[in-house]
A and B are shown apart, each in its own frame.
Chain A
Amino acid sequence: MVHWSAEEKQLIASVWGKVSVEECGAEALARLLIVYPWTQRFFDNFGNLSSPTAIIGNPKVRAHGKKVLTSFGEAIKNLDNLKGTYSKLSELHCDKLHVDPENFRLLGDILIIVLAAHFGKDFTPACQATWQKLVGVVAHALAHKYH
């Protein structure tokens, strides 16, 4: 089980409290699809992903980004049981969605950059370190049920 210090929990909560799940989620997913275009392979039914402008304006991207980050919020509420929290989602991503777990790491890194752009200097090195740890364990939990 992952250990979270009081300081880490505070850094996570204080950032999350100021995050617009809808905006950050949409931006993170859009950037994933733009910066790492091969990730578009999972979204054939999303319609127009032909350019950064199309991706950013795509309503399915926005909606899915919100969904993904909302789920991330669940992780934050259950820091002491991430594997349990993500057990079913992990199975889904393996068995139905067939997503290489490397994609979770890519999205995690993108989310960090979105948060950095949003919070500027408030996103201190300690803050980044805590959040890199968080996205890492979330990615790990989502990959846990893979077989």
Chain B
Amino acid sequence: MVLSANDKSNVKAVFGKIGGQADAFGAETLERMFAAYPQTKTYFPHFDLGKGSAQVKAHGKKVAAALVEAANNIDDIAGALSKLSDLHAQKLRVDPVNFKLLGQCFLVVVACHNPALLTPEVHASLDKFLCAVGTVLTAKYR
């Protein structure tokens, strides 16, 4: 799966519009993921996952920052996320299926807060981008 020039510009536009809300979007993405897919909580036994958790907020910020970094370096996502890819392969080892779940929740967050932004074409581009990020993060698993 390849990101076209249109996909890249759609993704950049989304993150441009999201701007400073990225941190909050990251936190809400995690909150929704834990609610809709409780099995994802198994990766966070050391977290307080209650409503308004500071740890979830902080982690959401990290997740959002990674997505923003990928969007800003969309011509070389693998390069931009190389260290994160190593981390996921060697330490975190989050099962690959979970990236799709996170992606779904991120799309839902964008849809909830900026429905006008998520036209079908932009939806397609963003979905492809999120898949690409997941692919990069699991690329070194074996």
List the interface of chain A (C-beta within 8 A of B): 30-31, 34-35, 52, 55-56, 109, 112-114, 116-121, 123, 125-126, 128-129, 132-133
- Secondary structure at chain B's binding surface: helix, strand, loop or mixed? helix
Q: Which residues of B contact A119 (CB under 8 A)?
A: 112
- Contact for A128 among B108, B115, B120, B123, CB less than 8 A: B108
Judge whether B120 and A113 touch: CB under 8 Å.
no
List the interface of chain B (C-beta within 8 A of A): 28, 31-32, 35-37, 104-105, 107-108, 111-113, 115, 118-121, 123-124, 127
Q: Which residues of B contact A133 (CB under 8 A)?
A: 36
A123-B108 in contact given A31-B120, A34-B121, A35-B123 (Cβ < 8 Å): yes
A125-B124 in contact given A109-B104, A116-B108, A132-B36 (Cβ < 8 Å): no
CB distance from B18 to the nearest CB of A (A): 15
Judge whether A125 and B104 touch: CB under 8 Å.
no
Judge whether A52 and B120 touch: CB under 8 Å.
yes
Q: Which residues of B contact A109 (CB under 8 A)?
A: 104
A125-B115 in contact given A34-B123, A52-B121, A112-B108 (Cβ < 8 Å): no
A30-B37 in contact given A35-B127, A109-B104, A113-B107 (Cβ < 8 Å): no
